[in-house]
Structure 1
Amino acid sequence: MTIKKIQEEIIDEFSMFDDWMQRYEYMIELGKALPLIEEQYKTDDNLIKGCQSKVWVHAELDDDKLVFTADSDAIITKGIIAILVRAFSNQKPQDIIDADVEFIDEIGLKEHLSPTRANGLVSMIKQLKLYAVAYQTQLK
């Protein structure tokens, strides 16, 4: 499935909820279902800089596609990274690099986060794209 299709699914799912309390609860559920990073990858190297809470992301190439696993010590943040992992995992690095992230605005996520969480969200997206750039250069 393409990144765009996955993003459309996420937008549809979030549009089913009337208010932000329900959306936060849904994000927490997504966080609980996140494919967790193995303990050995919970290192400072895998910590996302710019997040108030701790967020670890690990990427590895599997059959020319990047697979992300992640974890966070905060439940909302874990939900945020779960959304991003869902959108970008199992995709080709170039597709991740080229993908836009407007779906974040469309589900209203950025505007409903505290400034520090919104900055963390930007840092998470940046880190996933940096992984894609790093792996893309290895593929060439």
Structure 2
Amino acid sequence: MRPTEASAALAQAAIADEFAFFGDWSERYQYLIDLGRKLPPFPEEWKSEANRLHGCQSMVWIVAEGNADALEFHAISDSTIVSGLIYLALRVYSGRSAAEILATTPDYIAGIGLAKHLSPTRSNGLASLLAFIQDTARRHLPAQE
């Protein structure tokens, strides 16, 4: 998923602005579901055990492509809310350099109140997704002498 904002920080600010528009969490959950439906198509052949993200109650598959200058993440879930969480994470991190990914704390999660409104299993799944993104970025950084 290509970023629509010029930086991860701008993406997080845009997410906060969008969620601030909604008055209650039932509206925010519906928006999250709607965002999940906007994920680009995910090739069936990528839905393999090798690409499965463990630590999620739902089925989640994720693939990373690119190099230290730009890492693209592609992901999908069988859960509509989890797909929305994936959409937000990819909006912040996909298409960014490894250095920018590692320098970006996922502040949008607390900023929009997600941390307080996710079940423990979804929180664990989101943490696994973010850890995968961070670990991938770390592996793509040039080795420090």
CA positional deviation for 1:63: 8.6
2:41 partner SS: coil
| 58-67 vs 21-30, which moves further | 58-67
Structure 1 position 137, deviation (Å): 4.0
1: CA distance, partners of 2:122 / 2:84: 12
Partner of residue 4, structure 1: 9
Could you tell me how far 1:32 is from its partner in structure 2? 0.5
CA distance in 1 between partners of 2:12 and 2:32 (Å): 15
Match of 1:59 in 2: 64
Gaps in structure 1 of 5+ consecutive residues: none
What's the Cα RMSD here? 1.7
Query: Which residue matches 1:106?
Result: 111
8 Å Cα contact 2:68/2:97 also seen in 1: no
Give the Å deviation of 1:35. 1.9
- Unmatched 5+ residue regions in structure 2? 1-5
Q: What percentage of residue pairs aligned between the two structures are identical?
A: 39
1:21-32 map, 5 Å: 21-32=26-37
- In structure 2, how many angstroms separate the alpha carbons of the residues matched to 1:64 and 1:39? 27
Query: What is the DSSP-based 3-state SS (H/G/I as helix, E as strand, rest coil) of the residue aligned with 2:141?
Result: helix
Aligned pair count reads 139
Q: Please report how far the alpha carbon of residue 62 of structure 1 lies from its aligned counterpart in structure 2 after TM superposition.
A: 6.4
Name segments (4+ residues, structure 1) moved above 6 Å. none
- 1:56 is aligned with what amino acid? W
1:100 match: secondary structure: coil
Q: Summarize the Cα distance change of 1:9–1:48 in structure 2 as closer, same or farther, 3 Å threshold.
A: same
1:134 is the counterpart of 2:139: yes
